[in-house]
Amino acid sequence: MNKNITLLGGGSWGTALSKLLSENGHNVTVWLRNEAQVRELTVNRVNERYLPKVRIPENIVFTSDINEAVKKAEILLLVIPTQMVRGVLRQIKDEYKDGKVIINASKGIEIGTMNLVSGIVKQETNNCTFAVLSGPSHAEEVGLSMPTAITIACENKDVAEEIQDMFMSSYFRVYTNDDVIGAELGGSLKNIIALGAGISDGVGYGDNAKAALMNRGIVEIARLGIAMGADAHTFYGLSGIGDLIVTCTSKHSRNWNAGYLIGQGLSKDEAIKKIGMIVEGIPTTYAAYELSKKINVDMPIVDAMYDILENDADVKETVNKLMLRDKKEEKL
């Protein structure tokens, strides 16, 4: 059954998902804050800044009027940076009433509150059903209809299956899961590890170092997740190890690229400026650092990344400290 779906956000991921949903027969509206970008996308049907190789279907509607965008929406898809979610939701309370479905396709933790997006949605909406779309899925590949597998996590099984049907296509396979916290944490925290992988490559370390970082990184992610009530198995699925692999190894990963630039000697601000897009792993590092201290979970890689980003710690000295920690058994 066709749905009226509104995407809040028109970057690379929003563009790719809007194309997919339109191809699947849904009525798609995309909200962007920038009126000039709305005009450009409406006329040219190409997102030159974020996804220049992808042709946008003619029936997708673009608008800068957020209340108009959500008025008829049955499904709301969040494709905006996590740090913007609360402010945007506060703009649409009058239009987006009880009982709606909100899907989060962004990845991060809110600085200050240390809330996942599920927590923000619960605080800022009334009785909405929340789901999270997460997994190894570069927008550049989804936009070009390359095979992709992803997870939709929702506590309501019927809604999860409805969303699964909504997204499924010949190139986009969707699995369901009921572990919302696990899927959110896997998708968010892997960006920190990807920053570290980029830094490792940037300073000239080899495959051994990156493999160790990725493996111990998923251990840290699972450790925090279990402490917050997530299912450990989630972190070994698409929204955990799957997303971690692609983000730590791909040329499309803005987090890896930002880390690589930092490893080459740029500051975090210089790296962000050069990337030209949101690098979610940086604010997520700060939020995860505070969260791990609050609930007393040992996360040495997160601590090391925080020290590099916040205190400009020397990368090689920081790696030496990680390597020379007290010996221990390999376990969570």
| HEC profile of 76-125 | EEECCCHHHHHHHHHHCCCCCCCCCEEEECCCCCCCCCCCCHHHHHHHHC
pLDDT of 238 > 70? The answer is yes
pLDDT value at position 16? 98
pLDDT at res. 97: 63
pLDDT at 250: 93
Contacts of 35 (CB under 8 A, 6+ apart): 64
Whether the predicted pLDDT of 314 surpasses 80: yes
How would residue 210 be classed by pLDDT, with cut points 50, 70 and 90? Answer: very high
| Lowest-confidence pick of 27-36, 232-241, 320-329 | 320-329
Check if the beta carbon of residue 184 is closer than 8 Å to that of residue 134: yes
Please give the average per-residue pLDDT across 283-289, as a whole number.
97
The model's pLDDT over 123-134, given as tens digits with 9 standing for 90+, comes to 998 889 999 999
Which residues carry out catalysis?
190
Please return the burial class of 202, using the count of CB atoms within 10 Å of its CB with bins 0-12, 13-18 and 19+. buried
pLDDT at 96 over 90: no
Say if strands 148-154 and 51-55 run parallel, antiparallel, or are unpaired: unpaired
The position carrying tokens 């927008």 is 139
Averaged pLDDT, 306-329: 94
Cβ neighbours, 10 Å, residue 256:
29
Residues above pLDDT 70, as percent of the chain: 99
Q: For residue 331, what pLDDT is reported?
A: 78
Report how far Cα 288 is from the mean position of its chain's Cα atoms. Answer: 14
Mean pLDDT of the chain: 95
Closest CA relative to residue 80, chosen from 242, 270, 280: 280
Residue 94 has pLDDT above 80, yes or no: no
pLDDT above 70 for 315: yes
Closest CA to 125 of 76, 69, 174, 160: 76
Amino acid at 56: I
Is the confidence at residue 85, as pLDDT, over 70? yes
Domains and CATH numbers, the chain: 4-178 (3.40.50.720), 188-323 (1.10.1040.10)
Cβ distance 163 to 134 under 8 Å? no
Distance CA 205, CA 76 (A): 42
Q: What is the pLDDT of residues 55-83, one digit of tens each?
A: 999 999 999 999 999 989 999 999 999 99
pLDDT digits (tens, 9 = 90+) for 29-64: 999 999 999 999 999 999 999 999 999 999 999 999
Phi, psi of 12 (to 5 degrees): -65, -45
Tokens of 268: 């975090």
At 160-177, the pLDDT tens digits run 999 999 999 999 999 999
114 phi/psi in degrees, rounded to 5: 60, 25
